[in-house]
Structure 1
Amino acid sequence: MTEALTRDYRICEEIGRGRFGVVRRCEPLDPSAAPSSLAVKSIDKSAVSGDDLDSHCLLTEPKVLSLLSPHPNLLRFHSAYEDSSHLHLVLDLCDSPDLHRAVASTGSLPELDAARILAQLMSAVAHCHRHGVIHRDIKPDNILFDSRGRLRLADFGSAEVIGGDQAAAAALRGLVGTPYYVAPEVVAGKEYGDKVDVWSAGVVLYVMLAGFPPFTGESAAEIFGAVLRANLRFPPRVFRTVSPAAKDLLKKMLCRDASRRLSADQVLSHPWVTSYGGAEATDPVLTQDFHRV
């Protein structure tokens, strides 16, 4: 730990571990500071290989978090510290289970919960896009909940800053993301823009309602093939109780043609979201207490 970090914060127990480092709870040593508990994400520089993607991830996250703060549905960035071996990011504390664990504990979610989660997720995504940021790795593991049950979108290590209000018009290349959640234009090696995040959020919505992803396979190659075909199905045994409005939104978010796919703002204006998920961004998103599982 850097001297500056331990001068400002008391480092407490480990609460998570990932590919590049560890997350611990920490407490400001200044008694007047709020909140009283935060998290410090310590990235091990030696675990980051020399390839461009890993180096990009190391450098991008603090830059993007600093650019985007504050927003009630984004994980807030407080400060960064660096020493010879680690980069330490002080962030909001979200010690409730992420959406992946929440869905795994219940199998699927009621439409009301799914809509409220989607409304806050898309509020965060729209905020990113207005600031020219594409997340590029939206998935349940990166959707956290704070102590109030409010959604926080996290992990901007794969994000790309492409500038101002021209985000939708700008284009990127490169296979970035998680197989089940990556958009077909990314898999195909085409240029892509911010609507890849809408596709990924559509997969998240499908998973919340069904308990499994819409495009599957036994290997990454098979999953990518299913994503490219984008043959969206609604198995009756699972979707018989799901409303037509929810299915309509899924079709418009999981549209293979990105030019016809909804934008983040258009998702927020869809009748299913406005009728079911019309919560304020600061409200808890869940009607049941599984975020504490």
Structure 2
Amino acid sequence: MNKPSSRVNGSVVALTVAVLAVSSSAPLIAFAAAPALAIAFWRNFLATVALTPITYGPRRSEIRGASRRSVLFGVLAGVALAAHFATWMPSVQLGSVATATALVATQPVWQGLIALVQGRRPSAAGWAGIVLAVAGAAWATGADIGVSGQAVLADVLALFGAIFAAAYTALGEQARTTLSTTTYTWICYGVCAVLLLIVCLVSGVQLGGYDAQTWAAILALVIGAQLLGHSMFNYALQRTSATTVSVLILLEVPGAALLAWLWLGQTPRAAALPGLALLLLGVAVVILGAARANRPVVDPVLTD
């Protein structure tokens, strides 16, 4: 008798924890006294280490039996994920948490455009959402032009981060046709960590010597946004529609902005707020439009 109620309650708790976990990502990046690329490397490397016992334990046979095609798409997804982190995470340190988080949330918009290239036309609602989101992004970026060139650069990097996130999702859709989420994630994080390590070494980015607070922030990123957030969203997807989860992920934007305000003293710029609100509305319309058209909703597993 109580099973449906307990499942609903479990999903609510899981989604609440997941949104809180991913909302902490940008504020933690901004707080950490370490280069953004180094933080990106450590969060992916440590996550890979944490997933290795699971992947090479119960799922060892899956890796051995995986097709070359699936592994190839998993590797390519890892390359796109590295590009995502290498653009979005610096944007958080260069600009404001609120704007960077909102702009990277345009991932479903770019995903819709990728689907168009693949021959799947967005619905009328999808096109309307794309227009709204692009207008909102232009408004928010325009508001930053009067602030500084660094703020505009941060906005551009965040948009590229969203584009690479959409590419990561599109490639991941191909890999996950035969790979489990855990194995696929382990491949992506591993490839991403190796590429980011190479970039850090070539560019001379400092990978150590941080204070205790910075290491604590990096660990919190790994446990929170990287592992706990993903796990809770995956748990909720077993009981909640992908559309609902995708829309709820947008709560990361006000959540991150609130944390940045209370913790870091970052007050969102008033001139950018209407644009950010328009952007989020557009993204929500894109997601709902895709659902009504009975098309795959953007993979809600990817979080920042």
TM-score, length basis structure 2: 0.31
Greater RCO between the two (CA within 8 Å, min separation 6)? 2
